[in-house]
Structure 1
Amino acid sequence: MMKSLASRAFPLLVLAASSASPLLAGEAESTPAAIAPAATPSKVNVLFQLDVSDHYITPRGLNVENDGVIFQPLLLAFVNLYSSDTGFVDNVSLTAGMWSSIHSEKSGADPGRWNEFDPILGFTVKFADIFKFDTTYTAFDSMVDSYPTSHHLELKLSMDDSKWLGPWALNPYIAYWQELENKATVVFNPLTSEESFYFTVGINPTAKIGPVKLEFPTFMNIVDDDFYQQFNGTGGGSGIAVVSTGIKASVPLTFIPEGYGHWTWYAGVKYYHLSNDGLEDGNLVLTPNGDHDENDLFQFHTGITAFF
């Protein structure tokens, strides 16, 4: 179940385009070259990503799948609604898309390989040159009938501190994640389960070594008592439930012409430390053949991103 964007994580990108100004055919050399007007940047851009992994672990620490190979395609469309170089509000944009999890091994109540489908709708405001506020709606739809479709809202405030820290920027953020309808976690007793929430505090330090971009995404989730549920149907406990960190290296695929978009290959590893009784009980159900240490999970992943 369940991937956020926010989470998960997803960055809005800006694609700049310009045009050349060749001499008109047959024009005398003494005549000034005709200057073609700069092309207007597109108001609509598209991001496609295909992530390949050895696990499906959600940002909430749920170890949904630990067998076989996991394919997770993401498709997002960005619509620029407003831009300004002078006002307090720099940019307003709309995001719409979808995410899926497809597994090489069958799983779920009605076993299948297409495990999950998540529609995404978001609204982003960038302001004061360094801040970004994201409002994102997601739904988690189990294609293998493992749980009722759940609906959620995430509010996220992030800051670009590279203006002061340069290459040592931390890119901090805070987020609030709320279940709107049905649970996004494992439910043991529907009669006592309630929609709940959690907070995320995180950073995403970045560095560049030649063409290689390194990222160190790190966050912790602070949950309400009712967010997870234990075997006995009581709350899983409040406080810090998930602490995660990792490293991701990205390299642009410069052999692909710019006219075909901006392509990047990446690879990385994520580490999750879990410290919530309800979360641990849920993972015993999701992956009964579990990992060696259920409190410490590692995920290796690689993939390709294309931006048009």
Structure 2
Amino acid sequence: MRHTHTLYFNICCLLLVCLLPFLQGCSEKEPQQEHTVVLQDDLGRKLRLPAQPKRVMAFSPAMTEMLFAICDTATIVARTPNCDYPEGVKTKPVVNNYPVDYEQVLALKPDIVFTSEGITPLDVAAQLQELGVAVYYQKYRTVEDVFSGMEAIGRITGRERQAKHLADSLRLQVKEIAQRHTQNQPPQRILAITWTDPIYVYGQNTLLTDKLHLLGAENAVQELFDQPYPALTREYILKLNPDVLLGGSPEKLEQTFFSLYPELRKINAYQNRRIYAPTGNLLERPGPRVVESILELERFLYP
């Protein structure tokens, strides 16, 4: 009987020795089988990333605002030098995005970097993806594009419910604002300048156009230029003859814009003192504060 037990014990030990390499191989491979997904961004680019990103950041201040509004802030690993809202963003490490500091980005190991059309060159995104960092672009032509962008971020980061709740609440506010301006005739024509020498303006294919449309107004620049922020001549602006000029206070523009181009004092906006200084990071950023931007424009157009 003792001989039988000894033989049985030896056979079990032999089987364990034979199976040990196989069991070790299984345990070593398991962590490598991380679930990934393939996504297509707003530019039609395909990228692969973890199904549940745990480390995220953005190269666009507007998208950083989106991340803070939607994501668990512990997952946001960095900000750019221009990211200044909300207040909590200032606790995050600063990463240069223009030019991109590749070493800083790689050291932070983000699963995905969010950016928007026109912010990050495509060759930079390609370089980051070669280094193992997925770059996801969004583009915005309408206010609804901003809300859809928030929902996309929610789906990607596993915060779909939070993103949809935010987007739907903002949609409701926009609907209420638009209902106040369904009978405005004729529409006011607004020119918004971004630079004075040369004169760069918000073109027709910018988010501003849709914001104005919701307010029963229109972008004075009706022509569709190749660039979203085209440079205009003084003669062209005189022909536009905008009712409202956005870009600075009357005092500031008197010292800069109109002193450079005194003939532009003929436009309706100057003659009627309809010159306003919008809050820069509201007008410029297609983020969660887009409704605040529309409300500010409403105060200018209907004082």
Structure in which a larger fraction of residues adopt helix? 2
Larger radius of gyration: 2
TM-score by length of 1: 0.21
